[in-house]
Amino acid sequence: MEEKYEKNVRPYESVLGEDASIYQNEKPKTEKEKLRAMGAKEKGQYIIQYYAAVFLGTLIVAATIIFLIVHFTGKKDTVFGVLAVNSDGAHPAAAGPEYFEPFLEENGVDAGKNQVGVNYTLYMKAGSHEAVDQTNLEMIQTLFMTQAVDLFFSDEEFFCYMAGTDYLADLRDYLPAEVLDKYEADIVYAKGMETGETIAAGIRIEPKNEWIRETGWYESTVVAGLSETMKSEELSVKMFLEMLGE
């Protein structure tokens, strides 16, 4: 029975030959071939879409190259930084690095390749545990630790808070003795938490000070100091003395 059944089975024969188109791998069409197979309307839409994508891609690449060229050839080195915390001036004039360009040129520094880092937008209440104040405090500490601060300005309350953190330099190590004597009554002393040493951390500057009035950062008494991690000791001291009017 099994043998008879096998004899009745007809062998499978394909209706299509081996060279039929469905058995062939379709070759990718060129753009010209695609266009030939399209009608006039389809052809117009395809050209617009195709070349729009090509143009957009080219534009992105070109914009990226231009950005990199400008970024790396136009980037200036920051020679030193100024940080003014809790500024209360209504119309700050020293709002950017360009304000300090004359100072750089006067001291032999090419302002076309170098700049002064300026930050006067941070506000911090001494001893505050509010989230925003803690965030700003971390930012301020980071700026000191990364040598982004050479000159430091603040209201006296916050300055005294920072003076005890060992971030500020002893002015007696940098300013001439005659200048220290002149401002003895306005020197703010502080004891470092880690070193335990008392330093001349800053000098009180009144609003009538010409430099303070010109920058526009403060309308009330401010204390100025030098960072312990100054990037440019020479320029920082010169700026400090210029600020004092010396």
pLDDT tier, 173 (very low <50, low <70, confident <90, very high otherwise): very high
**Alpha helix positions (H), 97-192:** 101-106, 131-145, 156-163, 177-182
Residue 73 has pLDDT above 50, yes or no: no
What are the boundaries of each domain within the chain?
31-73, 77-244
Choose among 156, 168, 223: nearest CA to 198: 168
Mean pLDDT score, 142-151 = 91
Choose among 246, 243, 213, 198: nearest CA to 82: 243
pLDDT tier, 68 (very low <50, low <70, confident <90, very high otherwise): very low
Residue 35 has pLDDT above 70, yes or no: no
What per-residue confidence (pLDDT) applies to 1?
47
Write out the two tokens for 81.
Answer: 């930084």
The CATH architecture one would assign to domain 77-244 is 3-Layer(aba) Sandwich (3.40)
* Cα-Cα-Cα-Cα dihedral sign, residues 124, 209, 233, 176: negative
E strand map for the chain: 77-84, 114-119, 151-154, 187-191, 198-205, 222-226
Rounded CA-CA distance 190/162 in Å is: 9
pLDDT tier, 93 (very low <50, low <70, confident <90, very high otherwise): very high
